[in-house]
Amino acid sequence: MTTEGDTVTAADRDAQDRRDGRLAAVVIAITTLLWIGFQWVGKQQGWGARIAILGDFAAIAAYIFALVQVWRIWRRKIG
């Protein structure tokens, strides 16, 4: 038994896909800029490889998050 508020329309799914797509795009763009900035500052300050790898891991985590967002959009489109 469903009520009127429980139904999900195609327009709702498209709106959700657009929001998720924008989120993925923003995460990728900001992550890339922050990662480049972190590498530059690290080089200027003489940080060691142990510190640099933390920035790399943080960037990888953000890219994985964006990949999952895009994968969810794709799965909704084919499903």
Q: What is the pLDDT of residues 31-77, one digit of tens each?
A: 999 999 999 999 999 999 999 999 999 999 999 999 999 999 999 88
Structural domain includes residue 47: yes
Domain count, the chain: 1
Structural domain includes residue 10: no
Please give the residue range of the domain that contains residue 59: 15-78
Q: What is the pTM of this model?
A: 0.82
Determine the residue type at 63: Y
pLDDT in tens, 8-32: 788 898 999 999 999 999 999 999 9
Structural domain includes residue 2: no
- State the virtual CA torsion across 62, 68, 70, 76 in degrees, nearest 10: -160
